[in-house]
Amino acid sequence: MSQHRLVNPLVRNIRALKRVALVRQSVRIEEEIKQGMKKPYNEVIDVSRDNPHATGMKPMSFVRQVIASCIYPELIDSDKMPLDVRKRAKTLLECIGGSVGCYSDTIGIPIMRDSVSDFLTRRDEGVPSASGKIFITHGSDHGFGLLLTMLVRGDRSPLVGVLTPVPSQDFGNATLVASGATAVPYYLDGQQGWRLHTEELQRALRSAREVCDPIALYVINPGDPTGHVQSRESMEEIIRFVYEEKLLLFANEDHQDILIGEGCMFISYKKVLAEMGSPFSDAVELASIHSASKGFMGEGGLHGGYLELVNFDPSVQIEFDRLISLLVLPIIGQLALEVMLNPLQPGEPSYEHYQEKWDWAEQLYGSWLTMALNLCVCRFGRLRITHVLVIFQEEEQLPDFFYCSRLLEQTGLCVCPGSDLGLPEGTYHIRLCIMTSVDTMEEVLRRLGKFHKQFMKDFS
Amino acid sequence: MSQHRLVNPLVRNIRALKRVALVRQSVRIEEEIKQGMKKPYNEVIDVSRDNPHATGMKPMSFVRQVIASCIYPELIDSDKMPLDVRKRAKTLLECIGGSVGCYSDTIGIPIMRDSVSDFLTRRDEGVPSASGKIFITHGSDHGFGLLLTMLVRGDRSPLVGVLTPVPSQDFGNATLVASGATAVPYYLDGQQGWRLHTEELQRALRSAREVCDPIALYVINPGDPTGHVQSRESMEEIIRFVYEEKLLLFANEDHQDILIGEGCMFISYKKVLAEMGSPFSDAVELASIHSASKGFMGEGGLHGGYLELVNFDPSVQIEFDRLISLLVLPIIGQLALEVMLNPLQPGEPSYEHYQEKWDWAEQLYGSWLTMALNLCVCRFGRLRITHVLVIFQEEEQLPDFFYCSRLLEQTGLCVCPGSDLGLPEGTYHIRLCIMTSVDTMEEVLRRLGKFHKQFMKDFS
């Protein structure tokens, strides 16, 4: 029987990420090293994405102690863990039904929504947050996946469009496409630290209206992978834009606790919206996401996040509740999220562990500085340095994947080709994530510098 | 702006499960107990679904020790864990990049697919299994979600149908509907221990063809919630049926390690298919799923499972690989799955822990027996007793939800209304899961018996 008729045409539209091929190349290389094959390097360093634990950053001890104790409750009853860890684990274990093996309610473990809403109210200095408008998710991608399922699946015509920033991670070409939406790119300004210009949004929207029904603007603040932090003025401009154009606003605020750059400060879209007052504050429909996967938690493997809906029509909220009733949420990610939302307070015995957070920030800042200094010394052609992440641009007509694959094979360094981030043909970039230790970053730059000199010699 | 135009019509079709309302009622009741409100019971017992850890079954220590050590690696370097636990955790930690916070590859952590294929080859006594045809998932529901995304999303017309057993869990009315497919019910025979009859499949298929394009048959073996275990003859009949009717075969084999009933034995669909020989063995397209959520692992909160494709057209496999490239897999579920696939061997220091597995089986058998005996004594009207789970049927015209909600309020016992499982109107059932300890089951029956007598007095 022919299966061709059975394949969903949307799946065919998913653009395979080149980074996936590179990661598999890495696995192969590591296997060869293990089997004793001689290479000019001892191990692969993968800075192709924000995966800080894989490149030398340490997880927060308190988080891990609490989760380990929930997993293996004998640790709670022994003296193998600090008292506050045991206390926290005991409370959480009661909430989840006594075992991490229990199924979670589809709205999350009982305290979860309240924890998120308390966290948001504190963070936004009193802007109210209702727990009924908060949805626990597997992480940020999942939050947007739910929104998109809600809005775009089915046989709607014309195609639904979402204005999506470039450069940005795989969201634009994967989750969106699979859900049957179209990503309409708007380009961030690489000449100005990857700022977002409202004129560019207007241009993107005009061009979108020729091919689809654009319903939402997707923003990432702080930027990923650019590291750009939006100013309050810029956010107000964006809010006015979505208000006038009757667009939903999807804000990915995943990196809110990690900023590098002078005078940078995180303000949430929700807070800016509330402070702008009427007509914006009660009209603009905002969906905001955050998770324990990014920032100084970096627990990408654990899958805990949330989504908050602001100003959504009550009838939409009812349908969203219905959709949520399908969810089966992993418990461990929720535990990580819970600890993130309710950090240790001064006076608690493990509070000193929070020094780790500052060590983390120091490493990251050091890594950024090392990168900045080294790039100046090495003169790698034209460069773009952003606050958190760096994109390296070459004018030569080099296929970016060819460069990355060769770099990986010869030096064991894995970086991400710019085309994976939506950057247009002819602008060859690589992305490397600086969310790593200073030592690792020095090694990264040593490998990259040596390779690049030879590469330029061989191919120019 | 009106949001109504934005809601995906498929979401509106999701039938809210009544069990969800009951679970929330439970949470409210527990909160009231905590606040000191007087009730004729001390706690809620929820046997409305298979959630064994929540009702007194113990997780496997070795599994939990290994995972806790991976989460908090200081445990590996100390003498706080047995030697084989530390060894296993060390190996796994190397595989996942040194931290459970690292992102997993979209095909799972490196050893995962090989572990599954080795497990399958052992289980099926040599029937070959290729790791490239195995996909790691968040659990069973997710495996079917992926298959359905692959096959039915988009603007296909006519509607795609999947023949789905009744009674069965929420799969029929949730995942399917959200993906844009139609569940075509076929009814298991409650008079014969919930057997599946091929004539009923034929009837369902004929009626399906009037309203949609039926492409697949979904079977659950061992049955959930029925506990019925299919015989080899019955499986061969089903394979012949899908071959003749050119249907895909989706086999949920999640409960394969837990069977109760005389002479019951689990054989996989893959093994039966291989042993039937040509033309079946190389023509029938089979997708089989299994996970660490069920059986004696019962780690529903951890989210680890796999899906194996057999005989699928290579072009479909390519598209499936593409779809898989969107996945972000949780690490902890994979660790649980890994330990399930590679159980301790005799001679390893922790092997004695596997006694827990037999204790588990003993409790479960005891629970089943207690149930069977008590039901005979209490004479609850007409009964259906199945191997693992019990459905209790009342002839009176009682709305099942009303019964369940009242039962919960008055006795603190949470069971599932049969209508959630697709059972037709007018056949009032409740489901209660016997995968619990003997003590819990005795208490369950005490509460149910007392309530039911009074209920019959009040309403008849």
Is A104 domain-assigned? yes
Comparing CA positions, the residue from A94, A92, A98 lying closest to residue A115 is A92
A215:B6 CB<8 A: yes
Is A430 domain-assigned? yes
Is B370 domain-assigned? yes
Is B264 domain-assigned? yes
pLDDT at site A354 = 76
Instruction: Give the ipTM of the model, two decimals please.
Output: 0.90
List the alpha helices (DSSP H) in B246-349: 269-276, 314-324, 331-341
Among A163-172, A321-330, A366-375, B413-422, name the one with the lowest average pLDDT.
A366-375
Query: Residues A84-97: pLDDT tens digits?
Result: 999 999 999 999 98
B315:A3 CB<8 A: yes
Give the rounded percent of residues in chain A with a pLDDT score beyond 70: 89
Pair of tokens at residue A456: 């330029």
pLDDT at site B155 = 55
Report the residue from B14, B65, B333 with minimal CB separation from A322.
B14
Is B64 domain-assigned? no
Is A69 domain-assigned? no
Query: Residues B175-219: pLDDT tens digits?
Result: 666 677 888 999 999 878 889 999 999 999 999 999 888 999 999
Final residue of a structural domain among A306, A341, A376? A341
Final residue of a structural domain among B341, B373, B404? B341
- Tell me, what amino acid is at B224? D
B98:A54 CB<8 A: yes
Tell me how close the Cα of B181 comes to any Cα of chain A, in angstroms.
10
Does residue A380 carry a pLDDT above 60? no
Report the residue from A12, A139, A332 with minimal CB separation from B332.
A332
How many other C-beta atoms lie within 10 A of the C-beta of residue A34?
9
Average pLDDT, chain A: 85
Report the C-alpha gap between B361 and B340 in whole angstroms.
16
**Chain B environment of A303 (Cβ under 8 Å):** 303, 328, 330
Same domain, B301 and B445: no
Report the C-alpha gap between B404 and B326 in whole angstroms.
40
Torsion of CA A95, A97, A100, A106, to 10 degrees: -80
Same domain, B168 and B21: no
Report the C-alpha gap between B305 and B323 in whole angstroms.
17
Q: Are B330 and A332 in contact (CB under 8 A)?
A: yes
Say which residue, B72 or A5, is predicted with more confidence: B72
Report the C-alpha gap between B219 and B229 in whole angstroms.
11
Report the residue from A71, A138, A157 with minimal CB separation from B64.
A71
Domain limits for position B32: 4-58+355-459
Report the C-alpha gap between B162 and A5 in whole angstroms.
16
A330:B332 CB<8 A: yes
Q: Give the residue carrying structure tokens 């959480």.
A: A92
N- to C-terminal Cα distance for chain B?
52
B27:A110 CB<8 A: yes
Q: Give the residue carrying structure tokens 């208000």.
A: A243
Work out how many domains chain A is built from and give that number. 2
Same domain, A281 and A408: no
Report the C-alpha gap between A90 and B278 in whole angstroms.
57
pLDDT at site A390 = 44
Same domain, A287 and A364: no
Same domain, B297 and B411: no
Report the C-alpha gap between B238 and A286 in whole angstroms.
50
B301:A330 CB<8 A: yes
Report the residue from A14, A99, A153 with minimal CB separation from B325.
A14
Same domain, A324 and A225: yes
Same domain, A314 and A440: no
Tell me how close the Cα of A459 comes to any Cα of chain B, in angstroms.
32
pLDDT at site B314 = 86
pLDDT at site A3 = 43
Q: Tell me the average pLDDT across A36-46.
A: 95
Tell me the CA distances in angstroms from B443 to B53, B55, B400, B447, one per residue in order.
16, 11, 21, 6
Same domain, A373 and A254: no
Q: What angle do CA A392, A395, A400 make, to 5 degrees?
A: 60
Same domain, B209 and B327: yes
Same domain, A397 and A323: no
pLDDT at site B207 = 94
A53:B98 CB<8 A: yes
Final residue of a structural domain among A309, A341, A373? A341
Same domain, B220 and B258: yes
Interface test with A, best of B45, B328, B340 (most A CBs within 10 A): B328
B330:A332 CB<8 A: yes
B3:A313 CB<8 A: yes
Tell me how close the Cα of B455 comes to any Cα of chain A, in angstroms.
29
Same domain, A364 and A337: no
SS3 of B173-231: HCHHHHHCCEEEEEECEHHHCCECCHHHHHHHHHHHHCCCEEEEEEEECCCCCCCCCCC
Pair of tokens at residue A426: 């002819």
CB pairs under 8 A between A and B: 255
B180:A154 CB<8 A: yes
> Parallel, antiparallel, or unpaired for β A428-433 and A389-394?
antiparallel
pLDDT at site B383 = 37
Pair of tokens at residue A167: 């450069």
Report the C-alpha gap between A155 and A217 in whole angstroms.
22
Element (H, E) at B135: strand B134-137
CATH of the domain at A409: 3.90.1150.10
Does residue A396 carry a pLDDT above 50? no
Q: pLDDT under 50 in chain B at which residues?
A: 1-4, 376-397
Report the residue from A80, A151, A301 with minimal CB separation from B330.
A301
Does residue A389 carry a pLDDT above 60? no
**Chain A environment of B2 (Cβ under 8 Å):** 313
Report the C-alpha gap between B90 and B85 in whole angstroms.
8
**Chain A environment of B138 (Cβ under 8 Å):** 138, 328, 330
Is A87 domain-assigned? no
pLDDT at site A4 = 46
- Tell me, what amino acid is at A51? N
Is B37 domain-assigned? yes
**Chain B environment of A157 (Cβ under 8 Å):** 155
Q: Are A179 and A152 in contact (CB under 8 A)?
A: yes
pLDDT at site A379 = 36
pTM, whole model, 2 decimals? 0.91
Comparing CA positions, the residue from B269, B273, B307 lying closest to residue B290 is B307
pLDDT at site A62 = 95
**Chain A environment of B313 (Cβ under 8 Å):** 2-4
A68:B72 CB<8 A: yes
Query: Residues B337-369: pLDDT tens digits?
Result: 999 999 988 888 898 877 888 888 888 888 777
Q: Tell me the average pLDDT across A60-72.
A: 96
CATH of the domain at A256: 3.40.640.10
A1:B283 CB<8 A: yes
A326:B105 CB<8 A: no
Which residue of B lies nearest to A15 if distances are taken between CA atoms? B322
pLDDT at site A156 = 55
Report the residue from B110, B178, B319 with minimal CB separation from A326.
B178
A332:B246 CB<8 A: no
B3:A80 CB<8 A: no
Report the residue from B71, B248, B283 with minimal CB separation from A67.
B71
Which residue of B lies nearest to A244 if distances are taken between CA atoms? B1
pLDDT at site B177 = 65
Interface test with A, best of B1, B3, B212, B340 (most A CBs within 10 A): B3
Using a 10 angstrom Cβ sphere, with 0-12 exposed, 13-18 middle and 19 or more buried, the burial of residue B175 is buried
Band (pLDDT 50/70/90 cuts) for residue A435 is: confident
Report the residue from A68, A101, A110 with minimal CB separation from B298.
A101
Tell me which range, A114-118, A311-315, A340-344, is most confidently predicted by mean pLDDT: A114-118
DSSP A19-47: HHHHHHHHHHHHHHHHTT---SSSS-EE-
Tell me how close the Cα of B384 comes to any Cα of chain A, in angstroms.
26
- Tell me, what amino acid is at A174? A
